[in-house]
């Protein structure tokens, strides 16, 4: 686990589900010099400050700002050691209806973070990505793929700042903001819940597992990698039955921009991917030798490897689902 004691850490989109859990775990395990919560929503910051008060936790700071505003990022990143980039517009249907807004935040915002981090000499930048960036069929996924490419390429021109840029790509987070679970819990009160397709499968992970994985990545990362945690799959119909066992299920069909199954590593990425105990590391394709020294101890996956939610070897049943949620 990477030592955050006496470090200055900034989380973009820090008032989200991940930011709250990460803050909780930092408080529990470390004494950073500063932990900066950077986000654009003053009301969410107000509520988060009731939970994590700067009066009680002297190292916590709340910065209002938008990653679209590069000047504000320059100010916020001054003397910051580590940036965890979690800010994004991520609602798929909203993104299809408001495409340029997604581009401004998820792509241009990513570029703003890169420029500010290099010029302010941030040591490490870890960007959170998504399974939807693999073979994307919606704008959200395409924007996150573009962001991944930007962060990996940023290592090529970080210059004497020596800023390291890496990404972590993972699937659906149980009970996170925007999760289907709260929706189904509300629908269950009416005796009926809606489900798009009974064949659908998804990767799932808890916020605790995501945060724990990121603490390990911060220790491992050298720049240019995309890290993928090992995650269980579940059938969405099993999730629905676990949450609302007595409710009638109405199938409404796959929504625009939605997939039956999700993929975290494509076959095209397999030839430059290695496996370690907690996950996989997708190494830079254009610089095959760059990280070989660091990651030569790990086993390469087979060339036909594909990490997909429908062919995953790790599945959880309804009982295990209930334990997770």
Verify whether residue 34 is a known catalytic residue: no
Rounded CA-CA distance 277/207 in Å is 19
Report the DSSP pairing between strands 8-12 and 82-85: parallel
Under a CB-based contact definition with an 8 Å cutoff, are residues 120 and 159 in contact?
A: no
Query: Of the candidates 179, 82, 72, which has an alpha carbon nearest to the alpha carbon of residue 127?
Result: 82
Which listed residue (132, 209, 230, 235) is catalytic? Answer: 132
Under a CB-based contact definition with an 8 Å cutoff, are residues 226 and 167 in contact?
A: yes
CB half-sphere exposure, 289, CA atoms < 13 A: 0
- HEC string of 114-140? HHHHHHCCCCEEEEEEEHHHCCCCCHH
The DSSP bridge partners found for residue 263 are: 308
Instruction: Indicate which residues carry an active-site annotation.
Output: 132
């Amino acid at each position: 686990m990477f030592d955050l004691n006496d470090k200055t850490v900034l989380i973009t989109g820090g008032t989200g589900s991940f930011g709250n859990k990460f803050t909780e775990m930092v408080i529990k395990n470390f004494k950073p010099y500063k932990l900066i919560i950077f986000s654009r929503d003053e009301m969410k910051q107000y509520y988060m400050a009731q939970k994590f008060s700067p009066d009680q936790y002297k190292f916590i700071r709340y910065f209002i700002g938008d990653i679209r505003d590069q000047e504000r990022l320059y100010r916020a990143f001054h003397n910051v050691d580590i940036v965890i980039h979690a800010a994004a517009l991520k609602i798929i249907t909203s993104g299809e209806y408001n495409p340029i807004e997604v581009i401004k935040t998820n792509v241009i915002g990513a570029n703003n973070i890169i420029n500010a981090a290099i010029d302010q000499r941030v040591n490490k930048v870890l960007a959170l990505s998504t399974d939807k960036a693999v073979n994307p069929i919606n704008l959200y996924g395409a924007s996150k793929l573009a962001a991944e490419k930007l962060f990996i390429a940023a290592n090529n021109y970080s210059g004497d700042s020596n800023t390291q840029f890496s990404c972590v790509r993972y699937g659906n987070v149980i009970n996170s903001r925007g999760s289907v679970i709260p929706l189904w819990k509300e629908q269950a009160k009416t005796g009926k819940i809606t489900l798009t397709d009974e064949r659908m499968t998804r990767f799932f992970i808890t916020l605790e597992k995501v945060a724990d994985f990121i603490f390990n990545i911060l220790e491992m990362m050298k720049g240019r990698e995309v890290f993928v945690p090992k995650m269980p799959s579940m059938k969405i119909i099993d999730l629905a039955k676990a949450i609302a066992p007595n409710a009638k299920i109405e199938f409404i069909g796959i929504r625009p921009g939605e997939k039956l199954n999700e993929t975290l590593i494509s076959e095209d990425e397999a030839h430059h991917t290695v496996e370690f105990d907690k996950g996989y590391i997708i190494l830079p394709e254009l610089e095959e030798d760059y990280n070989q020294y660091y990651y030569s101890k790990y086993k390469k996956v087979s060339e036909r490897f594909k990490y997909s939610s429908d062919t995953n070897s790790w599945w959880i049943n309804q009982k295990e689902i209930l334990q997770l949620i």
